[in-house]
Amino acid sequence: MSLRYALLGLLADEPASGYDLTRKFERALQRYAWHAQHSQIYPELGKLAADGLVEVIAEGARGRRTYAITEQGRTELRSWMLNPPDVFVVRHEFVLRLFLLSTLDPEDARAVLRPVAQESARELATLRESLDRAEATAPPGTELALGRLVAEYGLRSFQTMHDWALWALDRIDQVEAAKAARPAG
Amino acid sequence: MSLRYALLGLLADEPASGYDLTRKFERALQRYAWHAQHSQIYPELGKLAADGLVEVIAEGARGRRTYAITEQGRTELRSWMLNPPDVFVVRHEFVLRLFLLSTLDPEDARAVLRPVAQESARELATLRESLDRAEATAPPGTELALGRLVAEYGLRSFQTMHDWALWALDRIDQVEAAKAARPAG
DNA sequence: CCACACATGTAATGTGTTACATGATTAT
DNA sequence: ATAATCATGTAACACATTACATGTGTGG
């Protein structure tokens, strides 16, 4: 069901074609929230149109169809946003690997964590830079670009991941040192 | 494919039955990393056994079968852990909602964020409590337990979410106040 | 004229959820 | 006895990925 609302949400921001939406997923949503391929998006747009939640507002070259959200679609999206489930769907292969870290010996665990610490730091820097640029461009106190909220969340999440990776690396070293100190244990 | 490695990882920690594994998913993995129901776990255990990656080491009451990982299974798991993909599978309905927050007006956005701040605080308290209890029980410097890394990551994630939700609520108020101060803008 | 990006679609297969189905053991 | 928990399994359906398939417009 989430795909349906992801599409409605993107179309609530601005009209787009299936092709556009496919790229939006790749650029914005895939890394943090949700992913979908065009083979899933096109049929779903068809269903949304059949249900009256979106409509074709323009047809262009190469069979391009631009969709826009309808009033009914906005109502439906709002209702979904205001009624969250008790338990959210979470599927995060990266975090899964973190959880299984203790199945590795300390050397392997470090080999997994080092790139994590590195890449989260790099991602962090990229995000912070593009955020600073956006901040500098827009005059202060203007319209709440809610994209600002999301960016901040991404920033904090990567910071947390980075800090945690460093903490875990340190922890592994400590346990190893303790083990070396009492070889009989 | 991830389910397969999640199971191998849990069995690498200790032998377990399908029933045990189902509860481990519910308690430990579901909220952060991955979820699976028993209807998916039992067939997958069968496949893993057929592939020689796990084996039945005991049969108990009520048809209970306890599985353990094999040497081949450990090799397979290690290879998966040490070879991460370029792009991780991520599906996070909560973050998706954050992305779509900008489709709501400020009042609705606050209505979404308030329970986030509340529930993350509650979750945080629960986690911290059970962590403190575990810390007090186990002697320091002992074996690096699987649960310890998981708990720490959970703790930090919820702390991050909580702090962010408060920050976001504050930010929305600020922008609204600024708007009210210059009604012509 | 040719490569690349644009643009859409379906079929086969794999993964995941919900519902259906059954029965044993344990604690009260 | 009886309710709760333990314990496993399959079938139907929904969702998601990969592969197959086709054609158009644009820039070099």
Contact (Cβ atoms closer than 8 angstroms) between residue A17 and residue A62? no
Interatomic separation, CA of residue B39 and C1' of nucleotide D2, rounded (Å):
28
Distance CA A102, CA B143 (A): 10
- Mutation site, A153, A161, A175, interface B, largest B CB count within 10 A: A153
Distance CA A66, CA A48 (A): 13
Burial class of residue B120 in the structure, from the number of CB atoms within 10 Å of its CB (0-12 exposed, 13-18 middle, 19+ buried): buried
Determine the pLDDT at residue B179.
80
Contact (Cβ atoms closer than 8 angstroms) between residue B142 and residue A185? no
Share of chain A above pLDDT 70, in %: 94
Determine the pLDDT at residue B145.
64
Determine the pLDDT at residue B142.
58
Distance CA A102, CA A182 (A): 21
Distance CA B71, CA B29 (A): 24
Is pLDDT of A134 > 90?
no
DSSP 3-state assignment of A141?
coil
Is pLDDT of A40 > 60?
yes
Determine the pLDDT at residue A135.
75
Q: Half-sphere exposure of A57 toward its Cβ, with a 13 Å CA cutoff?
A: 12
Closest CA to B90 of B2, B5, B162: B2
Low-confidence ranges of chain B (pLDDT < 50): 185
Determine the pLDDT at residue A125.
93
Distance CA B176, CA A144 (A): 9
Exposure string of A34-55, with b = 16+ CB inside 10 Å and e = fewer, is: bbbeeeebeebbeebbeeebbb
Q: Quick one: fold of A2-82?
A: Arc Repressor Mutant, subunit A (1.10.10)
Is pLDDT of A64 > 90?
yes
Number of Cβ within a 10 Å radius of residue A106? 14
> With contacts defined as CB-CB under 8 Å, which chain B residues touch A171?
144, 148-149
* Residues whose CB falls within 8 Å of the CB of residue B61, separated by 6 or more in sequence, listed in order: none
Determine the pLDDT at residue B10.
97
Statement: the CB of A45 is under 7 Å from strand C: yes
Interface of B with A in 5-34 (CB under 8 A): 5-6, 9, 12-13, 28-34
Statement: the CB of A19 is under 7 Å from strand D: no
Q: Where are the domains of chain B?
A: 2-82, 93-181
Distance CA A50, CA A19 (A): 19
Instruction: Tell me, rounded to whole angstroms, the distance of Cα B57 from its chain centroid.
Output: 28
Interatomic separation, CA of residue B22 and C1' of nucleotide D5, rounded (Å):
14
Statement: the CB of B62 is under 7 Å from strand D: yes
